[in-house]
């Protein structure tokens, strides 16, 4: 596969990752903020922003030559001003959400305690929105880099940067899963999987970020694909968890609010896809 094709594949994977992360935030914040009765009007912000980020990820422009206007001989920017604005807004609202959620934790009696971490505003949701904005921006940077006739060094640097951010995101998501599965007392043995499998993928991806000449690419790809599947399977487990609540899905209006969060597991899938995109860029640079 040509380097240009690899770059476009990586950019599209990053767009998908961004859209999936934003969709998870949209569904999760809709549920959690509805449970909080939207008592603060700022609680509508992540819904609007994540919906825009989903659209931006799915409708992102392609860098392929056949997609560019024939009437113009000048290189076309990979993202419009509106697209760039959505990327910056997504990351900005995510950062603001982190501040609000930390404030929610520390304003409660006991401040940074296990009880408040269990039941106060979750830190992971706004962090996922920040990652969504970063992945979308990274997709645009990959396309801009391709149009500028990139060297192996610039492609490798960009891939390593994305790999590092994704590895940190994976480990943060693992921490969030560990916290809430600990709250659930790991009553189902499968609850151990999200805190054992993804960390290995994060470490392997971090190794690729630190040393682009690593020989662990095949294992890293395989592990990231396993992590992506785990995210999909997690939705099934959480669906079963809702069904086990009193009244099951017949009482969905209450059990979806209080049962295991359905939108949480796909974050693993989204980050695994971003990790695969980073490996594609690093390998493309190594092959030049």
Question: For 26-47, what is the mean pLDDT?
Answer: 91
* CA separation for the pair 145, 175 (Å, rounded): 33
Residue 5 vs residue 157, higher pLDDT? 157
pTM equals: 0.89
Question: For 17-28, what is the mean pLDDT?
Answer: 95
For residue 183, give the H/E element and its range: helix 152-183
The closest of 53, 64, 42 to 15, measured between CA atoms, is 53
* CA separation for the pair 273, 228 (Å, rounded): 7
Kindly tell me the burial class for residue 157, based on how many C-beta atoms sit within 10 Å of its own C-beta (0-12, 13-18, 19 or more).
middle
* CA separation for the pair 158, 141 (Å, rounded): 8
Helices 197-210 & 152-183, crossing angle to 10 degrees? Answer: 160
Question: For 97-112, what is the mean pLDDT?
Answer: 91
């Amino acid at each position: 596969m040509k380097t240009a094709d690899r770059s476009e594949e990586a950019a599209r994977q990053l767009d998908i990752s961004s859209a999936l992360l934003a969709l998870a935030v949209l569904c999760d914040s809709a549920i959690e903020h509805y449970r909080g009765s939207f008592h603060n009007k700022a609680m509508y912000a992540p819904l609007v922003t994540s919906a825009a980020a989903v659209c931006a990820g799915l409708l992102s422009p392609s860098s392929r030559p056949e997609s560019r206007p024939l009437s113009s001989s000048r290189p076309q920017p990979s993202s419009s001003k509106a697209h760039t604005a959505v990327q910056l807004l997504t990351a900005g609202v995510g950062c603001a959400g982190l501040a609000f959620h930390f404030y929610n934790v520390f304003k409660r009696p006991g401040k940074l305690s296990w009880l408040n971490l269990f039941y106060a505003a979750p830190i992971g949701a706004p962090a996922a929105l920040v990652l969504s904005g970063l992945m979308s921006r990274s997709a645009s940077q990959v396309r801009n880099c391709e149009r500028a006739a990139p060297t192996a060094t610039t492609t490798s640097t960009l891939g390593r940067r994305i790999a590092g951010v994704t590895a940190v995101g994976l480990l943060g998501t693992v921490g969030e899963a560990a916290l809430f599965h600990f709250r659930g007392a790991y009553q189902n043995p499968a609850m151990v999987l999200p805190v054992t499998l993804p960390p290995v993928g994060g470490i392997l991806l971090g190794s690729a970020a630190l040393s682009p000449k690593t020989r662990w690419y095949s294992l890293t790809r395989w592990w990231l694909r396993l992590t992506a599947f785990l995210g999909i399977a997690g939705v099934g487990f959480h669906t079963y968890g809702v069904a086990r609540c009193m009244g099951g899905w017949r009482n969905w209006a209450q059990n979806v609010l209080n049962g295991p969060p359905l939108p949480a597991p796909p974050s693993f899938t989204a980050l695994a896809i971003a990790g695969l995109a980073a490996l594609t860029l690093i390998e493309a640079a190594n092959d030049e």
